[in-house]
Amino acid sequence: MEAETLRVAAVQLQSQDDVAQNLAECARLVAAAAGEGAKLVLLPENFAYFGADEEKRRQAERLPDLNGPIQRALSEMARKSGVYLVAGGFPEASEEFTKPFNTALVYDPNGALLESYRKIHLFDVALQDGTTLAESSGTTPGDAVRTFDIGAFRLGLSICYDLRFPELYRGLVSRGANVLLVPAAFTVHTGKDHWHALLRARAIESQAYVVAAAQWGKHPRGRTTYGHSLIVDPWGCVIADASDRVGVVSASFDLKYLEQVRRALPCLEHRRL
């Protein structure tokens, strides 16, 4: 019989432009999460490198390639800690050298690459606080919806700016997802007003658990991120919220509770459009 509970953890990082240092911090926190009983660990976007596009291109790796230092390190973390590891977003080499994909990787507890997802929606904005970002200038968008299974749970993949596009999550739920993963590096300006609201909305409308691992604090090139790694239940209640520091938050998911929510308020069955 497939397991009906799942212990999950979201890692909060303050990644910099030193890949080796960032990966060492990831390994430390993945091990800590596993030590607390987590079977699934989510790393945020830009976990391995948070810096200039020029260097990001040089860090890009093709899939699969266990000779690549980032992929090798992730496989080892998953295997050593015996967890499913979802690594939020890293530069995957594309056909265009200057525009790698922003890709989430999923490893099983044996360290094997189980699934990957290329970020579909790219963050091109000019915010009121003066922040201007054009992710599409250095990134190739993905075009495929991806899920994977852990026991009775089906997990849907997304990355950061995807959070603002509910049709993606409708697509994941239509494919059977009951857990939604959102690794991110939300800016402070957008995060303070939208992060909690959007994550709770995705949980409520999808009647699914949501796990969001975030970057927090100051990064190179003047970037500052909001943090608040969150875990939300299918009713929209926040059951874990990281404080303003590097660390781990965790929670246990209960499939029976999720099914109870969906039975009591069967809005997924009432869809007409």
Q: Which residues are designated catalytic?
A: 45, 119, 160
Residue in the block written with tokens 């998953």:
78
Sheet holding 5-12, edge to edge: 113-118, 101-107, 84-92, 40-45, 5-12, 247-254
Distance between CA atoms of residues 155 and 215, nearest Å: 21
Distance between CA atoms of residues 178 and 210, nearest Å: 9
Pair of tokens at residue 174: 């239509």
Distance between CA atoms of residues 2 and 113, nearest Å: 21
Residues 86/40, Cβ–Cβ less than 8 Å: yes
Residues 88/40, Cβ–Cβ less than 8 Å: no
Closest CA to 214 of 235, 239, 236, 195: 195
Residues 202/210, Cβ–Cβ less than 8 Å: yes
